[in-house]
Amino acid sequence: MSVFAGFGSDNHAGVHPAVLKALETVNPGYAVAYGDDETTAQAVKLFKKIFGSGCNVYFLYNGTGANILGLCSIMSSFNSVICTDVAHLTVHECCGPESFIGCKLVPVPAPDGKLTVDLVDSCLVGIGDPHMAQPKVVSLTEATERGTVYRPEEITRLARFAHEHGILVHMDGARLCNAAASLHVGLGELAGKAGVDVLSFGGTKNGMMFGEAVVFFNKELSTCFPYIRKQGMQLSSKMRYISAQFIAMLEGDVWLQNASHANAMAHVLAKGLRKIPGVKMTQPVEANMVFALLPERIIPELQQEFFFHRFDERRPEVRLVCSFQTTADEVEAFVSAVRKVVR
Ligand SMILES: Cc1ncc(COP(=O)(O)O)c(C=O)c1O
């Protein structure tokens, strides 16, 4: 029996048909390389419509590149980034920020994956002291690595506090679409309008084949980015294939349909699991992820049938992620399997 990979992550899913169609449509003939093509111009126009005409947008291959290069353009090696201890930036980017930017990351314990003004405030030490890294950026992840979401007013509060202290706000928006769908707000409301300065906007986890964007809400911050993107090996020569995918996602409501479906499936999954004795939810379900404690003994047995990650190696807490592709039958199959092995 092959292992079902659907709950491992949202990038275990395939590519949405609308995106595949867009790739086929953009394929015939020739187009100028490195982003000087009509499709890219159209995609940039669309981003400006969604995020505001004052932003600058650049397309990249992946989310790690978007995070690190976006930060690189607003920091020096003597600066620090305040983030949570579960931020992708600090846990899953293989010291990329430290190595590429040379900066320091300050991970703050945040059980629900969210920073607060008080947590950020506690990190503002050593300002002006040449012996200490100088805080320069607060990085928020929306939706968070714990499947929770920041409401627009929470982002605004954090951004206001950060700006009052000369700190910029970066957002890892690998799952921004899931957060916006969950909160019934526009994408811009959670980013530039809430005070975010630089956004990594994710496409891959919501149905694209590949492609992420870095959006600067303060154009002055993006002055060096074209050079940084090239140096960082994220300048795609056949850019039109990233741009066309974004158009397919954002022109209509494919992004919203995909994210809403993934979120809905996570709720169905959580509802099913909650009814099983011995299973305990560890986070509220606010986007497309479910976190649960399972009896230790059943995890290896379940993993023979389903691929999923243990969130924390030290305790039997698992992370289950739903995608635009997850079906109710797949959710039911997982819940039934848990029910069966738990007995
Ligand atoms: C919150 C978050 N940010 C960024 C990324 C990076 O994406 P990529 O794998 O495209 O580098 C991921 C991927 O898992 C993620 O979960």
Residue 170: CATH number of its domain: 3.40.640.10
Final residue before a domain boundary, out of 250, 276, 307:
250
Q: Which of 64, 177, 210 to mutate to test the pocket of ligand 1 (most atoms within 8 A of CB)?
A: 64
Tokens (6 digits) for 134: 């100088």
- The CA distance from 286 to 309, in Å, is 19
Q: Are residues 229 and 258 in the same domain?
A: no
Q: Do residues 218 and 310 both lie within one domain?
A: no
Atom 9 of ligand 1, nearest CA residue = 63
Q: How far is the CA of 174 from the centre of ligand 1 (A)?
A: 6
Interval between CA 90 and ligand 1 midpoint (Å): 11
Mutate which of 60, 88, 148, 214 for ligand 1? The one with the most ligand atoms within 8 Å of its CB, which is 88
Is 309 a pocket residue for ligand 1 (Cβ < 6 Å)? no
234 lines ligand 1 (CB under 6 A): no
pTM listed for this prediction: 0.98
Which of 171, 205, 208 is the best mutation target for the ligand 1 pocket, counting ligand atoms within 8 Å of the beta carbon and taking the most? 205
214 CB within 6 A, ligand 1 = no
Statement to judge: residues 35 and 180 lie in one domain: yes
DSSP string, 192-220: GGGT-SEEEEE-GGGT-SS-EEEEESSGG
84 within ligand 1 shell (Cβ under 6 A): no
For residues 227 and 221, what is the distance between their CA atoms, to the nearest angstrom? 13
Taking only the tens of pLDDT, the chain with its 343 residues reads 689 999 999 999 999 999 999 999 999 999 999 999 999 999 999 999 999 999 999 999 999 999 999 999 999 999 999 999 999 999 999 999 999 999 999 999 999 999 999 999 999 999 999 999 999 999 999 999 999 999 999 999 999 999 999 999 999 999 999 999 999 999 999 999 999 999 999 999 999 999 999 999 999 999 999 999 999 999 999 999 999 999 999 999 999 999 999 999 999 999 999 999 999 999 999 999 999 999 999 999 999 999 999 998 889 999 999 999 999 999 999 999 999 999 8
Report the candidate in 256, 267, 261 with the shortest Cα–Cα distance to residue 181: 256
* Closest to 18 (Cα-Cα) out of 323, 251, 317: 251
Which domain range does residue 261 map to? 254-342
In whole angstroms, what is the distance from residue 149 CA to residue 144 CA? 6
Residue 64 beta carbon below 6 angstroms from any ligand 1 atom: yes
Q: Is 206 in the pocket of ligand 1 (CB under 6 A)?
A: no
Residues 121, 200, single domain; the answer is yes
Domain contains 2: no
Mutate to test the pocket of ligand 1, among 60, 67, 92 (most ligand atoms within 8 A of CB): 92
Q: Is the CB of 57 under 6 A from ligand 1?
A: no
Among protein residues, the one with the nearest Cα to ligand 1's atom 13 is 63
184 and 89 assigned to the same domain: yes
Please report the DSSP string for 115-173 in residue order. --HHHHHTT---TT-TTSPEEEEEEEESS-TTS----HHHHHHHHHHHHHTT-EEEEEE
Q: Are residues 313 and 187 in the same domain?
A: no
Residue 157: CB partners within 8 Å, gap ≥ 6?
117
Same domain, 244 and 270: no
Q: How many domains does the chain have?
A: 2
For residue 161, how far is its CA from the centre of ligand 1 (angstroms)?
27
User: Does one domain contain both 197 and 278?
Assistant: no
Evaluate: CB of 88 within 6 angstroms of ligand 1.
yes
Please give the backbone phi and psi of residue 84, each rounded to the nearest 5 degrees, phi first. Answer: -85, 165
Q: Which residues contact 170 (CB under 8 A, 6 or more apart)?
A: 67, 70, 71, 74, 81, 137, 138, 139, 140, 196, 197, 198, 199, 200
Angle at 23 (CA atoms; ends 21, 24), nearest 5 degrees: 65
* Residue 215 included in any domain: yes
- Is residue 61 located within the same domain as residue 125? yes
Q: Which of 250, 265, 286 is at the close of a domain?
A: 250
Q: Is residue 264 part of a domain?
A: yes
Same domain, 194 and 71: yes
Final residue in a domain of this structure, among 250, 275, 302: 250
pLDDT confidence of residue 343: 82
pLDDT of residue 1: 66
Q: Looking at the structure, tell me whether residues 131 and 238 fall in a common domain.
A: yes
Residue 1 lies in a domain: no
